Amino acid sequence: MKNQRDDLLAFAKVFDDKLAEIAQQFETPLFLVRQMVRFFRKQATSEAYWRSWGDLHQRLSWKFFQLHKAIQDAMK
């Protein structure tokens, strides 16, 4: 059980570091990058997905699609 916890925490740290790099690269607040990660968990057919899409697109403007791709790549 302890080994699994340690592995999970190590993975979370690596992913968190990647998100921080993306935020810095795109000069975007980290909280918006994290919101984009949560956006990926929504079903594309849900109203919540499209509300999040609209909100993020409005806040990020031209960066939206570039951040979307960078986060997708980081999640692989």
Q: What is the pLDDT of residues 54-73, one digit of tens each?
A: 999 999 999 999 999 999 99
pLDDT, residue 10, reads 57
pLDDT at 29 over 90: yes
Contact call for residues 55 and 47 (beta carbons, < 8 A): no
What is the CA angle 42-47-48, rounded to 5?
45
Q: Which long-range contacts (CB under 8 A, 24 or more apart) does 7-14 make?
A: none
Locus of tokens 């057919």:
45
Task: Identify the band that residue 7 occupies on the pLDDT scale cut at 50, 70 and 90.
Answer: low
Which ranges in 1-76 belong to alpha helices (H)? 2-25, 30-40, 47-60, 63-75
pLDDT at 22 over 70: yes
pLDDT, residue 23, reads 96
